[in-house]
Amino acid sequence: MRAALILMVALLVVAPAVAGTIDAAKPDETALRYYAGQHQRTRVEAEAERLRRRYPGWQPPADIWTARAGGEDEDGLWDLLAAGRDADLGTTLAARAKAEPGWKPSAALQAALAARALRQSCLSLAKAGRWAELAIFAAGRRSDIEAADAEVVWAAAEAYGRTERQGQALDLLRAVLTAGRFGPEERRVSLLRAMQILPMKEVDRLAALGPARDLDAIHVDLIRGRIGAVLHDEVDQSVPPEDLFVFQAYAETAPDPDQAALVAWLAFRRHDLPTALTWFKRAIARGGDAMVAHGLAHTLRLLGLRRDAEDVAYAWREPLVNNTLLFIDLLEAELTKEDAPAIEPDRLKRYAEVTLATASGEGAQALAWYAYNRCQFDTALSWFRRAVAWFPKEATVYGYALSLRRMHQERVFLDVVNRYDGLFPRVVGLLFQPTVSRPMPCEGAPVRVTRAVTGPASGYLDLASSSGAAKNGRVPQPDEVIAIRAPAPPVIRRGDFPVAVLMENDLRSAPTNGPVAETRWSDRPRGRPPTIARRVPGVGPMPYERYGFSLLPAWNGAEQASQPGAAESPAPRGTLWADEHAAPADGPARAQAQVPPVPDRGVPATTGSLGAPQAMRNQIVREKAP
């Protein structure tokens, strides 16, 4: 930037001396002679062709390759310019203009100085990543940019593309490519640079502006761009079979794993799973990253090789969190089956380790359900307690309550039911189910042993062996799992944490004789916590409402149970979600935002029940009394 500023100062000093010396009626041969002085034959031919189109009958000078761009007294100046010594050149120009009052630099030298200053400004902004400034600068110097060299044009086009001005980038590249200044190599590079900032359909339009034979060297690159466009859902983009065959032949020998990965992802998108599996394996063998492993794991999952997919996701869990989530989901589907097959201890242990390391509520509830269905109720209770803390959805709280009942912890069971009163009907419904004495299938029944994977050389534990069946299916307690080394806890002042807090459910309120109003916790009456819940908007009726018991009004005044549930109902009026998704005021109707329903996982049938809390039963009796 400093050299460019010096050149601009020099231009301001000498500009008055050369103003008006260029005859606009005659061709300006400045650029032509400058390129000839630099021995750039391709640019000389392109500039000569441009001048012929603008000035019919014009022919290049006979001394174009022998004459210097300026006079003899400018030899030293041109040498400095050619050597890139911009600071020295600017100082010399200023000193000479001051020492020789009548001296005038040639128009060719002045044009070369301006081109060099423009180049320095554009490339320095691009190197610094100041794309917004470069885009504004290029917009104000459009004609100079179009006449500049290829690197300046590419920098300006990239600035347009990075600042969401793809239309201006396309216009600039189209104007330059149609001007005839670029040779075949510069044209090919222009298309490659355009692929980074423009949609592929626009790149194809630019490619059609010149001879097709010039594109032979970048044919594979153009196919790669079309594959990327298909994977990014660009409209009207496809990869013809003949092009795919060419790229597969290239990727077959390319050491870069990304080339094989592109073929794999395209096959995966087309649901050609065997082909995707082959190319994903090839990409991994050549050093593919965790995202390639993610694609491999999903391909194995869709092919039914869930155990192999589980191993791949586990091996690549740390570099990419997507693989961790996939690992949790894969085994969770088996663990949450009511009649789940026996699973090796090593698999359960590593699953528990990942669950604890990531605080996964889904993983904890999966281990809990597996332990519960195998009558390991103490272990199930430990995992359910963590699952409720990490992700308290209804199915998880339901399993937690079942485990508490099985462990005969009636007081804690009633506390859990009351805590979610008004929110999870299924949990409260446990109070109203008849007592069932029929034992669970796992109580007194032999453990069913199955092989997780069959086939030669699987490398997995043989569950049918006597040594593997003894401990098979036992879920480790959280305390038994090898703890993941965690960083040292931060220093916290004793007065900051922990402090005593009210553990009351925010959905509850104190009973009053008049209309219920929201109050601060500090304003609420002290004493025994209330046992009557407030209605939660979007949640269906509670099981005890069929006895005539009514919940207190919700925070928004609703008194009736809403159907459908919260996941399918519109957002309440006045909330940010409703305001952001409302239709315009002059529209036909104000649209209510919809949240897509989340499918709930199946849970095993319940056995046994306990009575409702005494306060609830008394309330029901009072309201049903004549």
Query: Could you say which of 335, 362, 382 is where a domain stops?
Result: 335
**Domain residue limits at 66:** 2-217
What tens digit of pLDDT does each residue of 307-353 get?
999 999 999 999 999 999 999 999 998 898 888 888 888 899 999 99
What is the model's pLDDT at position 435? 52
- 618 or 238: which leads in pLDDT: 238
For residue 416, name the pLDDT band (cuts at 50, 70, 90). confident
Going by C-alpha positions, the residue among 193, 238, 246, 201 that lies closest to residue 219 is 246
Q: Is 485 a residue whose pLDDT tops 70? A: no
CATH at 254: 1.25.40.10
User: pLDDT > 90: what percent of the chain?
Assistant: 26
68, part of any domain: yes
Q: What angle do CA 296, 298, 303 make, to 5 degrees?
A: 95
For residue 58, name the pLDDT band (cuts at 50, 70, 90). confident
- What distance in Å separates the CA atoms of residue 459 and residue 408, rounded to the nearest whole number? 42
What tens digit of pLDDT does each residue of 565-618 get?
655 666 667 777 677 766 554 444 433 333 333 334 333 333 333 333 333 333
Query: Could you say which of 335, 369, 386 is where a domain stops?
Result: 335
For residue 301, name the pLDDT band (cuts at 50, 70, 90). very high
Q: Is 152 a residue whose pLDDT tops 50? A: yes
Average pLDDT score over residue span 36-40:
71
Which backbone phi and psi does 583 adopt, to 5 degrees? -70, 160
Start-end of H helices in 195-304? 200-207, 219-231, 241-253, 257-269, 273-285, 290-302
Helix 107-127 with 86-99: angle, nearest 10 deg: 140
Tell me, yes or no, whether 261 and 293 share the same domain: yes
29, part of any domain: yes
42, part of any domain: yes
Tell me, yes or no, whether 11 and 123 share the same domain: yes
- 26 or 226: which leads in pLDDT: 226
19, part of any domain: yes
Q: What angle do CA 236, 238, 240 make, to 5 degrees?
A: 140
Q: Which residues pair with 534 in a beta bridge?
A: 552
548, part of any domain: no
HSE of 86, CA atoms in CB hemisphere, 13 A: 20
Tell me, yes or no, whether 297 and 174 share the same domain: no
For residue 403, name the pLDDT band (cuts at 50, 70, 90). very high
420, part of any domain: no
Tell me, yes or no, whether 205 and 278 share the same domain: no
Tell me, yes or no, whether 160 and 258 share the same domain: no
- 340 or 398: which leads in pLDDT: 398
Tell me, yes or no, whether 11 and 125 share the same domain: yes
User: What 8-state DSSP symbol labels residue 421?
Assistant: T
What tens digit of pLDDT does each residue of 488-498 get?
555 545 555 44
Q: Is 158 a residue whose pLDDT tops 70? A: yes
Peptide bond into 498 cis (omega under 30): yes
Which backbone phi and psi does 303 adopt, to 5 degrees? -80, 0
229, part of any domain: no
What tens digit of pLDDT does each residue of 200-213 get?
988 988 888 878 78
Tell me, yes or no, whether 191 and 290 share the same domain: no
Average pLDDT score over residue span 514-518:
43
What tens digit of pLDDT does each residue of 497-511 get?
444 544 444 444 444
Going by C-alpha positions, the residue among 328, 347, 344 that lies closest to residue 336 is 328
What is the model's pLDDT at position 514? 44
Token pair for residue 306? 């869930």
Answer left, alpha or beta for residue 178, where phi above 0 means left and psi between -120 and 50 means alpha.
alpha
Q: Which amino acid is at 222?
A: L
The reported pTM is: 0.62
The torsion angle over the Cα atoms of residues 561, 567, 569 and 571, rounded to 10 degrees, is 110
Average pLDDT score over residue span 134-162:
88
Q: Is 444 a residue whose pLDDT tops 80? A: no
In a 3-state reduction of DSSP, which class is residue 499?
A: coil
Which stretch of 410-419, 547-556, 604-613 has the lowest confidence by average pLDDT? Answer: 604-613
What is the model's pLDDT at position 227? 92
Instruction: Give the per-residue SS3 of 435-475.
Output: CCCCCCCCCCCCCCCCCCCCCCCCCCCCCCCHHHHHCCCCC
- What distance in Å separates the CA atoms of residue 587 and residue 608, rounded to the nearest whole number? 55
Tell me, yes or no, whether 13 and 158 share the same domain: yes
What is the model's pLDDT at position 567? 59
Average pLDDT score over residue span 382-401:
92
Instruction: Give the per-residue SS3 of 98-156.
Output: HHCCCCCCCHHHHHHHHHHHHHHHHHHHHHCCCHHHHHHHHHHCHHHHHHCCHHHHHHH
What is the model's pLDDT at position 572? 66
What tens digit of pLDDT does each residue of 109-130 get?
777 778 888 888 899 999 999 9
Number of structural domains (the chain) is 2
Tell me, yes or no, whether 162 and 246 share the same domain: no
Selection from 165-179, 429-443, 561-575 with the highest mean pLDDT: 165-179
Other Cβ atoms within 10 Å of 36 Cβ, number: 24
Query: Could you say which of 311, 335, 359 is where a domain stops?
Result: 335
DSSP class per residue in 23-92: -TTS---HHHHHHHHTT-HHHHHHHHHHHHHHSTT----TTTTTS-SS-GGGHHHHHHHHHT-HHHHHHH
Tell me, yes or no, whether 88 and 200 share the same domain: yes
What is the model's pLDDT at position 136? 92
Tell me, yes or no, whether 184 and 326 share the same domain: no
Which stretch of 22-36, 221-235, 541-555 has the lowest confidence by average pLDDT? Answer: 22-36
Q: Is 443 a residue whose pLDDT tops 70? A: no
Entry field: residues in the chain = 626
Q: What angle do CA 518, 538, 393 make, to 5 degrees?
A: 95
- 534 or 469: which leads in pLDDT: 534
Selection from 145-159, 424-438, 470-484, 520-534 with the highest mean pLDDT: 145-159
Going by C-alpha positions, the residue among 305, 336, 601, 299 that lies closest to residue 452 is 305
Mean pLDDT of the chain: 74
Q: Which residues contact 53 (CB under 8 A, 6 or more apart)?
A: none
417, part of any domain: no
Tell me, yes or no, whether 55 and 196 share the same domain: yes
CA dist list (Å): 366 to 186, 241, 398: 59, 45, 13
User: pLDDT > 70: what percent of the chain?
Assistant: 67
